[in-house]
Structure 1
């Protein structure tokens, strides 16, 4: 007998904090590795998103955690128990094998957001559903819709779904546990209700506990490896340069491995411990790609894992996606939909075989264990059967997600009974836009208040072009034009916004546009004007300091810091920028005081070298003050005499 119920779980959680109200105007940039593979090369250049809009950044979190009850949905059939975080992207947080009491996923002791996602905030653990573009999904840390559906045989289905705004597509994940099944199934469907082809991206990401004896097995003998230098290299599996890379817990540095699974081969991945037992993931043919990510055992890798998951945590990630590497997109035609079925469970194989130096034999042993647990024909049968109920209207609403799907339904007349977006989900972020759809104009708020949301695209731009000219409509028209590549049109709209009513938001946007064009003097002047209007908006303070430091105006940056209130003065990112400005201006006493007291940057980005660069810059300036000059031999001595503290070591190489 299978049960689906609502529940809650208490986790030591850092609150998400307020959304950043400033539109992310800066273009997304991607590296372009050279790959001797025509298919991958095409995928590397197709469909790259140039902007995060219409999303805003989620960077208001900190590191102060408290035990917090989180809403969940639970599926259980007496063999497996799966628990999903409904306010965090529908993440499958736990998958427990009940007969053995074994947790198959890495969960960690904390839920700590960190700057690893497309919108900044992301957290480690469980199974996440990555949709949108390269990176962790923009929906990782926000609520999703959830409903109860039933299969024809009465098996309850947890349906989680949302409208993904960057690509304008609907995704649904239908999770279910048939009675007596040792495998959890998910039926995933992507639908493009729009009028044009869109690039799509999907990777299912499992976080798995890591030990030195954990081996990751896949049906491949070659892979593309990517290290922190962002270069793709074709390597052999399992060994490369004399090292068996299928044991992630033995690798020194972070690395990605995109496995080259031969066409026509069943796709699966297994992470098995020394006893030959562990979690497996398999899927029908639509999911071609298989990936392993490891943090490595360096100080930086360990610091990242402890920050994300608590002391002593070690985990790896096994992933499956639509493309052979995670750097590609594929086209989804207008009106088209794609579906596949995935399976998750506990498999047991002969430990001597799966840990054998004979890679062919090891892979075969894992493949037999997976076939015994869930035959390939069963997955294909589940996919065929899902066609009978994938469009079934929900029997019961379990959780409400965002109102963006409902807004798009009003704008475009979407009719998707299997994934309904009722109008009562429209809230504060969508209210102004609903008014624009219905009346052709938007309520004009006080310019002292930051906008809460943005829209982009031709339909919204047309409505804004026709609407009443106010500071608010012109601000949004400028954002829409900027996103579309009409930079001069955007400037024109923002200048009209300022003519209607002076506001920090248009000033800031013009400053960002100036900075993007290399006019740092104008950008600094604009940021200072904007900041004077709203001096207590932390994201604007941070942007202002970044521009001033980048424009070689450290004295003005320190003057801004000196006027801040206590809470902002102690914010880690602001303290980092203050220290950079102090070093640049030559106030080494101030910089030293900050470094010695400990700078903790809550939203330090994966691969960001700001902390170690600042540490060495400070000590080189000190040495230069004493010696008058610092040459290369002196730099070597400085680094030897002043090793980077563990607190500041988040290096990825």
Structure 2
């Protein structure tokens, strides 16, 4: 929602509505993590000079985990002491801290916890740089991130390139997210007098910087609730953003002008923001805020990239020391001016432009020594199209088990006739055409339905999944048909389909749950149950929901998600007291999504029934329920003002 009095720049208005993401296909969900922590080893690549040391995690989206400044013995980033996955990425698992590279669509990238290709490449100064690259599947675009530290430099240089190898125009999203330490006196500055505010009430409005609604929002802990502030930087102004402590010290990020946007994300000082910080980090440690840089003004936009074209830019990350009295003073223009002057002295704008120009010829250099391997999806696209992308080789040696059925389709015109249905599938138009020409069968029709759904051909997708069932396919097309019914608003039929998918996975051969097929189905039962039970409850079938839950294993029912579902079923059955006992005993939902209010909603629904007894739930009952049954802090995850 956009405030009525908000005048949008023309390019921003166009990009706000330009091809938003309609489906997560073909990205697989990443879940299955918990909250029990243990010491573990992670693959890391370290690059350093005599001034800085950067630690990169190639197996986790290429995250820059640490940027340490040697002369001052300071960590410039928020370095999370734990790797705690949470359901913040578009497809699930994500973790906080460091510098992350977000590509694809609005949100944290589907590659947040995925491996990237990594190799050493010659740097423009004659040394070496670290190249990270991958094929981003939501938009089918290759990208690369080159990191290097020139001798004697106090800044980490990062060259980024996103290419569109297709004939059609593609929507591009890019934001570099930088987690920085947050204390009461941390101040975030950018060269702007206004910003676009977007909170979890989902309203976009233009506000003054630094103060709005009676508080100085440049200090993250002076806001109560989580919010985004996208700075409106004037055309021609140098792009930068920084977070400085009480002594005027901190990290600054700057770039060439292509990366135009700058943003502050803050958790706020209210109870929910603090709870999320504890959830994502180690209790008892300082929290963090995020300063960010992107291709557009806001993260609600996608930028068109013509076929055969590319976006490329250079970023620089390093320490900044400014006069604390000025940067923390009441004169915002003076504070910004102090930062701009100190940045220009430490790293002139002309030097950044020169470094970008020097890097451009090296962006096409072939990697010398491979250090880590990403996915085989880029190699599959290379096999289909013959693409040759200098600098980012997608070698056939990276093709894995997930790509083999699709290689068979390319080479023979058909998917394999035997074996389980292939897993993560390509859904782009070219693959749909191949599937339409292939011999019908359970795998072909199921995956053709996915490609049709991705393209917006909902009716065709449903027909393909029905054909897959006629060919003897298992739970997968039934699940897809359930999702289709749910989107169409048919609650009863969606519940039927979800229950059928669960039954099919529980007894794949239709008679007895045994053998390899049964073991495969058994593994997906919890995932199917977490969608089937809410669907049955929405259809008013609480007894059936209870019976379905009872078919899970006892250990599965102890997982937080299923403790919540059990409480919801009990509430629907009229046993509010037993539902409340589950909350009082305590549980955690490891994969609770950002902005999900199901815990507080269920708590208050139970409280209302306890107060109302057998009577109706009136406004008076709701008020009493909230007064007599306050939400415990452990269940407070609401990110909007309440």
TM-score for both structures, normalised by structure 2? 0.95
**Cα contact 2:2–2:204 (8 A) shared by 1:** no
Per-residue CA deviation, residues 563-615 of structure 1 (Å, 9 max, x unaligned), is 21022211222221221121122122431221122131111111111111111
Q: Which stretches in structure 2 are left out of the alignment for 5+ residues?
A: 507-521
Q: In 2, distance between residues paired with 1:359 and 1:387? A: 36
2:260 aligned residue: 288
Cα pair 2:187 2:220 within 8 Å, conserved: yes
Q: Which of 620, 623, 629 is the matching residue for 2:616?
A: 629
Distance in 2 (CA, whole Å) between partners of 1:117 and 1:126 is 15
Name the structure 2 match of 1:644. Answer: 631
Map of 1:552 onto structure 2: 540
8 Å contact from structure 1 (residues 213, 274) kept in 2: yes
Supply the distance in 1 between the matched residues of 2:621 and 2:424 (Cα, whole angstroms).
Answer: 51
Question: Cα offset for 1:445?
Answer: 4.3
1:21-170 maps to which residues of 2 (within 5 A)?
35-37=6-8, 38-170=10-142
Query: Over aligned residues, Cα RMSD in angstroms?
Result: 1.4
SS in 2 for 1:285: coil
The aligned counterpart of 1:620 is 608
For residue 415 of structure 1, report the CA deviation from its aligned partner: 0.2
Is the Cα contact below 8 Å between 1:278 and 1:346 reproduced in 2? Answer: yes
Shift of 1:451: 3.9
Deviation readout 1:238-275 (Å, 9 max, x if unpaired): 11122111111222111110111000000001111110
**Are 2:321 and 1:348 aligned?**
yes
Cα distance in 1 for partners of 2:457, 2:2 equals 25
Whole-angstrom distance in 1 between the partners of 2:412 and 2:129:
39
Q: Does 1:304 align with 2:309?
A: no
Taking the aligned partners of 1:485 and 1:419, their CA distance within structure 2 comes to 32
Instruction: Count residues in correspondence.
Output: 620
Partner residue of 1:331 out of 283, 297, 304: 304
Given that residues 162 and 171 in structure 1 are in contact (C-alpha distance below 8 angstroms), is that contact kept between their aligned partners in structure 2? yes
* Partners of 1:162 and 1:402 within 8 A in 2: yes
- TM-score under structure 1 length normalisation: 0.93
Q: For 1:383-394, list aligned pairs within 5 A.
A: 383-394=356-367
The CA deviation at 1:444 is: 3.4
Cα deviation digits, residues 130-171 of structure 1 (max 9, x gap): 101100011111000001001254211100000111111111
Q: Which residue of 1 aligns with 2:424?
A: 453
Moved more, 286-295 or 594-603: 594-603
Q: CA deviation at 1:32?
A: 6.2
Q: 2-side partners of 1:139 and 1:445: how far apart?
A: 31
Deviations 1:496-553 (A, max 9, x none): 1111114111111111111111122221111111101223312111111121122221
From 589, 595, 598, give the equivalent of 1:610: 598
User: Which residue is 2:225 aligned to?
Assistant: 253
Aligned match for 1:239, one of 195, 204, 211: 211
**CA positional deviation for 1:39:** 2.8
Of 164, 171, 174, the match for 1:199: 171
Shift of residue 124 of structure 1? 0.4
SS at match of 1:171: strand
Q: Equivalents in 2 of 1:41, 1:360: separation in Å?
A: 28
SS at match of 2:495: helix
Structure 1 residue 33: deviation in Å?
6.2
State the secondary structure of the residue aligned to 2:43. Answer: strand
Conserved in 2, the CA contact under 8 Å of 1:47 and 1:330?
no
The match for 2:393 is 420
Q: Match for 2:483 among 512, 515, 518?
A: 512
Q: Is the 8 A contact 1:341 1:379 kept in 2?
A: yes
In 2, are the aligned partners of 1:213 and 1:273 still within 8 Å (CA)?
yes
Q: Do 1:90 and 1:128's aligned partners in 2 also have CA atoms closer than 8 Å?
A: yes
Q: Which residue of 1 aligns with 2:291?
A: 318
Write the distance in 1 (CA, Å) between the matches of 2:225 and 2:436: 51
Using the TM superposition, name which of 296-305 and 533-542 deviates more: 533-542
Q: Is the 8 A contact 1:107 1:309 kept in 2?
A: no
Report the CA distance between 1:629 and its aligned residue: 3.3
1:595 paired residue among 583, 604, 609:
583
Matches within 5 A, 1:359-374: 359-374=332-347
Q: Within 1, Cα distance between the matches of 2:430 and 2:96?
A: 37
Distance 1:600 1:451 in 2: 33
